């Protein structure tokens, strides 16, 4: 089967290459599993972010809009009260 040392060298190189291919296949398989888990985590994070946006950010924007629209009216009421207090003191 092995006539010369060159045959032994070629056989050992072929076996080493087969081992390398097997390890690379295992590495690729685990890489795919990790990437699949990462996509699941990213999907969960996107869902949580959308829930936070719906429950916190949008109501805060609505409140900010209401405050912005009501601010001139509140300022005039405060000015009228301070003017009436100054008139009562005088």
Q: Across the chain, what does the average pLDDT equal?
A: 90
Predicted TM-score of the model (pTM): 0.54
| pLDDT for position 53 | 87
Chain-centre distance of CA 58, in angstroms?
Answer: 19
Q: How far apart are CA 43 and CA 28, in angstroms?
A: 22
State pLDDT tens for residues 5-20. 899 999 999 999 999 9
Which residues does 10 contact at the CB level (< 8 Å), separation at least 6?
A: none
pLDDT confidence of residue 90 = 61
């Amino acid at each position: 089967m092995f006539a010369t040392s060159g045959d032994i060298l070629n056989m050992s190189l072929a076996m080493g290459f087969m081992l390398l291919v097997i390890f690379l296949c295992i590495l690729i398989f685990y890489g795919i599993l990790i990437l699949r888990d990462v996509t699941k985590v990213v999907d969960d994070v996107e869902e949580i972010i959308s829930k936070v946006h719906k429950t916190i950010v949008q109501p805060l924007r609505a409140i900010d809009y209401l405050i912005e629209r009501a601010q001139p009216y509140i300022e005039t009421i405060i000015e009228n009260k301070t003017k009436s207090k100054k008139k009562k003191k005088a």
